[in-house]
Structure 1
Amino acid sequence: MHATQPPGTQIDILAVHNLRDLGGWPAGDGRRVRSGLIFHSTDLHAVADAGLEALARLGLRTIVDLRTVAEREPQPDRLPDGATQLYCDVLADARNAAPAMLPMIMADPRNAGELLGDGKAESLFAQGYRDIVSLPSALDAFRRYFLVLADETRRPLLFHCATGKDRTGWAAAATLSLLGVSQDDVFQDYMLTNLQLLPALQPVFDRFAAAGGDPDLLKPVLGVQPAYLEAAFEEMRRTFGSLDAYFEDGLKIESGTLRELRVALTEERTT
């Protein structure tokens, strides 16, 4: 991220949406999150050669794929030169995972109201975010993500799910929270998804409407809402009691490793 750009600035690479650097956010005690080390985006299956070259210029060493097997096998990532991949299937243990339900919804737009209307979509996604925090597969996936993030030889690192907003949204929120970023800034970063992702998904809205669906039903599915992320934090507090306990008791990451992450991924603010 260029020094003059505010945190959360979108990085423009064709066919890679919701791409941004987690760096730049104030991290407390006069520190900020280091830039150029942690990125997130949508999946990388459609990126062209020029986009791969642009990703390679970010220096990426690791791509963490948070998708399910069913999502990633038909649309595998294209990796930039120099990067290796780590699969962390967050929702492997979920029966009906809302963050991975888009293909089912798009298959039957005319009847989507039965699944999504009258607040059902919001309820489904709130439960999905609780699953992202407490499912055994989620705990295992995020443990592996944070351990690879702690390995300086694997950074810079990019993580993603399918649309880079739900599983990716929690990964970003948990990372920033661990590094001392305020909850207001964590939510501000999260909500940038509606500005940086939804415009790129207009063709999806258009196809849904052309097939007889109500495009308004897709807004809580393709976008994000503060209530979703709040549901994740509530689940974290209910299940583990605190952020530190989530990392130490839920993810089984030693306190020394967490301290090392905070030191390695933040720096003193000079202004």
Structure 2
Amino acid sequence: MIDPATYPGAPILLETLPNLRGLGGWRTSDGRRVRDGVLYRSTDLSRLSGADLDAVAALGIRTVVDLRTQPERALRPDVVVPGAEHVVLDILADDTDATPTDMATILEDPKRAKTLLGDGQAEELLSRAYTQLVALPSARTAYRTFFSDLLALDRGPVLFHCTTGKDRTGWAAATTLLMVGVPEEDVVREYLLTNDQLLPALKPVFDEFAAHGGDPALLRPVLGVREAYLETSMAQARTQYGDLATYFAEGLGVGPDRREALRALLTEC
């Protein structure tokens, strides 16, 4: 395992919980540092077991925030982390399009995958999904609760996740870092780490897809992340609210006073 305090975004290498890393270590524009050991992000916890479960428990996690839909949770229930409360915040509750959360079954059928994801449709799907992370009422409600819970000191340390820990989780991480003053270019860097920390763990998925006649390249826009995806959410926030600060305040309930409280909680000199 790599010590997450060694550098920002270092992976915590657990076989049954890929894409696990802390948000600590990133520098704000005024020279403060995001605290280690307070916030962690990952894929879902459905495969967590054995020594890996012990390792997560050793992080002192007190709250697990599950950003998935009800069907996703039913299909792959989280393993319970000892001593941690499980909180469900369904980002996509108001989304009537099941395609993003039906991805697991889509990947089992290369012909269906080609129909739904080929010819640039995968990029369009992700663009719509990242717009919805800002535009959906359920997304605003869930992220608003996420940040209000972060301000409750008895909630931390917090581990938050969706299914692959890259889209809903990625926006939660990005907005958190932006709120406390981490420069946008570093927020993008943190977001893109998923390509290094998740895709290798998904090699069996790519191999199985290829074995059934599918083109693995078809999956990369869906299973990885791209800077353009994150930019879609930020553009939606700016279009809908005028700027990110107003989105934080009006959309997520984190005005100047609460934002300063979040900075005090999550950063240090």
Partner of 1:12: helix, strand, or coil? coil
Aligned AA (2:185) = D
C-alpha spacing 1:261/1:253, structure 2 compared with 1 (3 Å): same
**1:213-264: CA deviation from partner (whole Å, max 9, x where unpaired):** 1111000010001110000100010111122211211123343222111111
> Is the partner of 1:159 in helix, strand or coil?
strand
- The residue correspondences of 1:85-164 to structure 2 (distance < 5 A) are 85-96=86-97, 99-164=100-165
- Bigger shift: residues 160-169 or 112-121: 112-121
Cα shift at 1:101: 3.5
- Identical aligned residues as a percent: 50
**Do the aligned residues in 1 keep the contact of 2:108 with 2:209 (CA within 8 Å)?**
no
Contact 1:14 1:48 (C-alpha < 8 Å) held by counterparts: no
**What TM-score does the superposition give when structure 2 sets the normalisation length?**
0.96
Q: Deviations over 1:190-228 (max 9, x none)?
A: 110000000000000111111221111000010001110
Corresponding position of 1:32 = 33
Structure 1 stretch displaced more, 70-79 or 225-234: 70-79
CA contact (8 A) 1:20 1:41 kept: yes
Aligned residue runs from structure 1 range 244-263, under 5 A: 244-263=245-264
SS of alignment partner, residue 28 of structure 2: strand
CA distance in 1, matches of 2:4, 2:105: 42
Structure-2 separation of matches of 1:168 and 1:174? 10
Q: Which amino acid aligns with 2:37?
A: G
Q: Structure 1 residue 3: deviation in Å?
A: 7.7
Any stretches of 5+ residues in structure 1 without a counterpart?
A: none
Q: 1:11 maps to what in 2?
A: 12
Q: Is the 8 A contact 1:110 1:211 kept in 2?
A: no
Distance 1:261 1:139 in 2: 18
Asked if 2 retains the 8 angstrom alpha-carbon contact of 1:99 and 1:166, the reply is no
| Superposition deviation, residue 51 in structure 1 | 1.5
Against the structure 1 CA distance between its residues 33 and 180, is the aligned structure 2 distance closer, same or farther, given a 3 Å change threshold? same
Q: Which moved more, 1:181-190 or 1:112-121?
A: 112-121
Cα distance, 1:79 vs structure 2: 2.1
Deviation larger for 216-225 or 45-54 = 45-54
- Separation in structure 2 between the aligned mates of residue 229 and residue 254 of structure 1, nearest angstrom: 22
> Following the alignment from structure 1 to structure 2, what is the Cα–Cα distance between the partners of residues 68 and 3?
29
2:191 maps to what in 1? 190
Give yes or no for the alignment of 1:266 onto 2:241: no
The residue identity in structure 1 corresponding to 2:203 is Q
Match of 1:233 in 2: 234
Counterpart CA distance in 1 for 2:109 and 2:126 is 19
Residue identity matched to 1:40: R
List gaps (5 residues or longer) in structure 2.
none
CA distance, structure 2, for counterparts of residue 143 and residue 248 of structure 1: 10
2:22 corresponding residue in structure 1: 21
State the match for 1:165 in structure 2.
166
Change (3 A) 1:49 1:3: closer
Q: d(CA) in 1 for partners of 2:153 and 2:11?
A: 24
1:91·1:97 contact (CA, 8 Å) conserved in 2? Answer: no
